[in-house]
C-alpha cells in the first residue's frame, strides 16, 4: 500500500474528485427524479471526508491522498492479524521492521510505547541481545544527557545531546522536512547535522543548533572550480547556530562513492545553499581536493578550527581499509593535532542514492568500525582527548545503549527522525514521489508535511527515546551513560552459546599501541596492519612492496 501511494501514475486527488463528481451527479438525479437518496448520501459523505482530509494537518498521507489514504490506515489496522497468521511477523520487514517503525511513531506522537503480553522476539534465536540488569536499581534525576565536545584548542566547545539528527542534505530532504527537523531540534535543544548539501535558508529559520558537514564538493564554501574557499567557509562557520564542523571522509551507505545531482533538480534554493549554478549538474567528487595524506588532513582540521573562531572540528568516516584509519591515528600523534570528535558511520546507514552493491556489501558495520576506532584511541592514550559519535540504524534506547557500551559518546539517527516526521518506508526517496513529502522537491507533495505539527514530533521522539535510555540505565544500576560497558550486553550465538559484546569486541589497554615491541601480542587487525600504516599516505604502497 505504501508503494501504491507513491506511484507516479496515480493521481493523488483522483478518488476525491470522483467523489465530488459523484455527489454532483447523484444530487442532480435526486432533484430531477426524487430517487437516488442513498447514492447521494454515500458520495456526499466521501466528499466531506475528502474536504476534511485536505484541511487537517496531522496526517501527511491524508493531505496528499484524500479518501484513498484511509485505505492505507485500514490495511495498517487489519494487517497485524493477516501478517500474524498468513504472511510474516512483526520483525521481518526491512530495513526497519514494523515493530521498530511503530515504536518511533508512538514516541513521536507522544503515545504509549508499551507492549502487552511480552516480547515478540524469539529469545532463543541466534542474534538475540539483551542488557543485564541490577538488583539495586538507581534513580537518575534527568534524561537530558550531554557530553562536552571540544579540546583545549577550542574557544567554543559544545555540550552535545546524546541523541541527534544525523546528516541529511537539503535536496535529498524537502524544505518542509528540513524546517520541521530544525525546529524540532530547537524545541528539544539538540543538534541537527546539515549533511554535505550545506546550510540552506531553511536551516536558519528556527535557530536550531547546526553541525555543518563539509563534503568533498565543499558546498557552501567552494569557489567556481569546486575547490575549498576559506572566505566563504568563514562566513558560514561563524554563524551563531553553527556549533560544530564535520569533515565527511566517507558515508556508510555509499563509502568511496561520489554523486551527481542532475541540473534539472538543482533549483534556486539548492543552488543558493551549495554555491553552484542553477540548472547545472552538481557534482560531489569521491575524494577531497584539500588534502591527500593523513598529515594534510590534520592541517586541514587546524585550518578549519581557526577559520571558525575556535569551534569543534572533527570528521566522519565509515571504516574501510584498517591501515588507512591507522595512518590517520598515527598522523594525530606525530603532529600532536587532534580532531575534537570522530563520527563513525556504519555500512547499514541509508541513502536514496546508493548502488545496491554499495548498500549491501561495501563498508564496515557501525559496531565493528566503532570498536576499532575506540580501541585505537585507547591504545594510543588519546581516548579522553577525542569524542566519538556513532550513526547507523539507531532508533531505540537499546540501540543507543549498545553503541554507548562499545565506546560512543553520543548517537545520531537519520531514518529515525525521518519516520518521526512521517516517513512510511515507501522506499521511493530517489524518485521524487515520496508520498509524505519528506524526500521530495514537489511543492504539492511537500505541503502534506506540516512543519509545526512535525516539529513537535521530532522533539517528542528525542525526548521519549532519552527517557527510555534513562530507564534502562536505572534498571542496570547505573548513574550515567558512560558507565555502560560491553560486558553488560549479551548476544546469543547458538542454542548453547552466549557471549558478551566484550568477548565479541575485546577491549584494548591504554597505551598498548605506543612503542609496540611485539606486534604478535596485538589483536587483529592491529597485528597485521598497524606497523605498516604510515602518516604520510593513504595508499597501499606497503602491500605492493611486500607482495613484490
Overall average pLDDT of the 490-508 stretch: 95
pTM of the predicted protein model: 0.85
Q: What is the pLDDT of residues 222-252, one digit of tens each?
A: 999 999 999 999 999 999 999 999 999 998 7
pLDDT at 253: 65
Mean pLDDT of the chain: 87
H runs (alpha helix) in 113-213: 175-188
pLDDT at 131: 98
Residue 81 has pLDDT above 60, yes or no: no
Overall average pLDDT of the 144-149 stretch: 98
Which three three-digit cell numbers place residue 324? Answer: 588507512
User: Shortest CA distance to 176 belongs to which of 458, 461, 391, 394?
Assistant: 458
Residue 2 has pLDDT above 60, yes or no: no
Give the lowest-confidence range in 74-88, 268-282, 287-301, 400-414.
Answer: 74-88
- The better pLDDT of the pair 75, 514 is held by 514
Residue linked to cell 598522523: 331
Percent of the chain with pLDDT over 70: 86
Residue 514 has pLDDT above 50, yes or no: yes
- Is the CB of residue 386 less than 8 Å from the CB of residue 366? no
Strands 498-500 and 489-492: antiparallel
Residue 455 has pLDDT above 50, yes or no: yes
Q: What is the pLDDT of residues 400-450, one digit of tens each?
A: 999 999 999 999 999 999 999 998 888 878 778 888 889 888 888 888 899
Residue 545 has pLDDT above 60, yes or no: no
Which three three-digit cell numbers place residue 69? Answer: 489514504
Cα(382)–Cα(387) distance, rounded to whole angstroms? 10
Residue 341: beta bridge partners? 314, 387
Which pLDDT band, with edges at 50, 70 and 90, does 40 fall under?
A: low
Residue 39 has pLDDT above 70, yes or no: no
Residue 303 has pLDDT above 90, yes or no: yes
pLDDT at 548: 44
Residue linked to cell 593535532: 337
User: Element (H or E) spanning 42, and its range?
Assistant: helix 37-55
Which pLDDT band, with edges at 50, 70 and 90, does 80 fall under?
A: low
Cα(497)–Cα(499) distance, rounded to whole angstroms? 7
Percent of the chain with pLDDT over 90: 63
3-state secondary structure of 213: strand
Cα(468)–Cα(474) distance, rounded to whole angstroms? 10
Overall average pLDDT of the 103-113 stretch: 94
pLDDT at 8: 39
- The better pLDDT of the pair 57, 451 is held by 451
Which pLDDT band, with edges at 50, 70 and 90, does 12 fall under?
A: low
Query: How distant, in Å, are the alpha carbons of 2, 415, 441 from that of 445?
Result: 15, 19, 8
Strands 387-391 and 341-345: parallel
Which three three-digit cell numbers place residue 144? Answer: 537530558
pLDDT at 393: 93
Give the lowest-confidence range in 285-294, 371-380, 476-485, 533-542.
Answer: 533-542
DSSP code at position 226: S
Query: How distant, in Å, are the alpha carbons of 75, 120, 376, 454 from that of 112?
Result: 21, 17, 41, 18
pLDDT at 73: 61
- Is the CB of residue 233 less than 8 Å from the CB of residue 336? no
Residue 108 has pLDDT above 80, yes or no: yes
Amino acid at each position: 500500500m505504501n508503494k501504491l501511494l507513491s506511484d507516479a501514475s496515480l493521481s493523488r486527488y483522483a478518488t476525491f474528485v470522483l467523489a465530488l463528481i459523484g455527489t454532483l451527479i447523484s444530487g442532480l438525479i435526486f432533484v430531477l427524479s426524487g430517487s437516488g437518496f442513498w447514492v447521494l448520501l454515500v458520495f456526499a459523505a466521501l466528499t466531506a471526508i475528502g474536504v476534511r482530509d485536505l484541511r487537517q494537518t496531522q496526517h501527511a498521507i491524508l493531505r496528499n491522498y484524500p479518501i484513498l489514504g484511509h485505505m492505507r490506515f485500514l490495511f495498517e489496522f487489519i494487517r497485524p492479524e493477516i501478517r500474524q497468521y498468513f504472511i510474516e511477523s512483526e520483525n521481518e520487514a526491512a530495513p526497519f521492521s514494523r515493530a521498530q517503525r511503530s515504536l518511533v511513531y508512538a514516541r513521536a506522537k507522544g503515545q504509549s510505547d508499551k507492549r502487552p503480553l511480552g516480547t515478540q522476539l524469539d529469545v532463543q534465536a541466534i542474534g538475540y541481545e539483551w542488557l543485564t540488569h541490577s538488583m539495586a536499581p538507581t534513580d537518575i534525576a534527568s534524561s537530558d544527557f550531554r557530553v562536552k565536545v571540544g579540546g583545549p584548542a577550542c574557544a567554543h566547545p559544545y555540550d552535545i545531546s546524546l541523541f541527534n539528527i544525523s546528516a541529511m542534505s537539503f535536496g535529498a530532504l524537502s524544505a518542509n522536512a528540513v524546517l520541521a527537523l530544525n525546529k524540532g531540534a530547537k524545541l528539544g535543544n539538540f543538534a541537527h547535522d546539515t549533511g554535505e548539501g550545506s546550510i540552506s535558508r531553511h536551516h536558519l529559520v528556527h535557530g536550531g543548533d547546526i553541525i555543518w558537514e563539509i563534503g568533498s564538493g565543499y558546498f557552501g564554501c567552494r569557489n567556481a572550480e569546486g575547490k575549498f574557499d576559506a572566505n566563504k567557509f568563514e562566513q558560514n562557520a561563524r554563524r551563531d547556530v553553527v556549533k560544530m564542523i564535520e569533515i565527511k571522509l566517507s558515508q556508510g551507505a555509499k563509502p568511496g562513492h561520489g554523486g551527481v545531482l542532475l541540473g534539472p533538480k538543482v533549483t534556486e534554493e539548492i543552488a543558493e545553499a551549495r554555491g553552484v549554478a542553477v540548472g547545472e549538474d552538481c557534482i560531489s567528487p569521491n575524494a577531497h581536493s584539500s588534502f591527500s595524506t593523513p598529515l594534510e588532513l590534520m592541517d586541514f582540521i587546524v585550518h578549519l578550527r581557526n577559520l571558525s573562531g575556535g569551534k569543534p572540528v572533527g570528521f566522519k568516516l565509515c571504516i574501510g581499509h584498517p591501515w588507512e584509519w591507522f595512518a590517520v591515528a598515527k598522523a594525530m600523534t606525530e603532529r600532536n593535532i587532534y580532531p575534537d570528535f570522530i563520527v563513525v558511520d556504519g555500512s547499514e546507514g541509508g541513502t536514496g542514492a546508493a548502488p545496491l552493491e554499495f548498500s549491501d556489501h561495501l563498508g564496515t558495520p557501525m559496531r565493528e568500525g566503532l570498536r576499532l576506532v575506540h580501541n585505537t584511541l585507547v591504545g594510543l592514550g588519546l581516548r579522553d582527548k577525542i569524542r566519538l559519535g556513532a550513526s547507523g540504524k539507531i532508533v531505540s534506547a537499546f540501540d543507543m545503549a549498545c553503541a554507548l557500551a562499545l565506546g560512543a559518546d553520543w548517537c545520531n539517527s537519520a531514518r529515525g527522525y525521518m519516520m518521526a516526521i512521517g516517513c512510511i518506508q515507501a522506499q521511493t526517496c530517489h524518485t521524487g514521489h515520496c508520498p509524505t513529502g519528506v524526500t521530495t522537491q514537489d511543492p504539492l507533495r511537500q505541503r502534506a508535511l506540516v512543519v509545526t505539527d512535525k516539529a513537535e514530533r521530532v522533539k517528542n521522539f528525542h525526548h521519549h527515546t532519552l527517557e527510555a535510555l534513562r530507564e534502562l540505565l536505572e534498571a542496570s544500576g547505573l548513574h550515567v551513560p558512560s558507565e555502560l560497558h560491553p560486558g553488560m550486553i549479551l548476544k546469543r550465538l547458538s542454542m548453547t552459546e552466549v557471549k558478551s559484546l566484550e568477548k565479541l569486541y575485546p577491549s584494548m589497554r591504554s597505551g598498548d599501541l605506543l612503542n609496540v615491541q611485539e606486534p604478535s601480542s596485538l589483536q587483529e587487525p592491529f597485528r597485521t596492519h598497524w606497523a605498516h600504516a604510515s602518516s604520510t599516505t593513504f595508499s597501499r604502497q606497503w602491500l605492493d612492496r611486500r607482495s613484490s
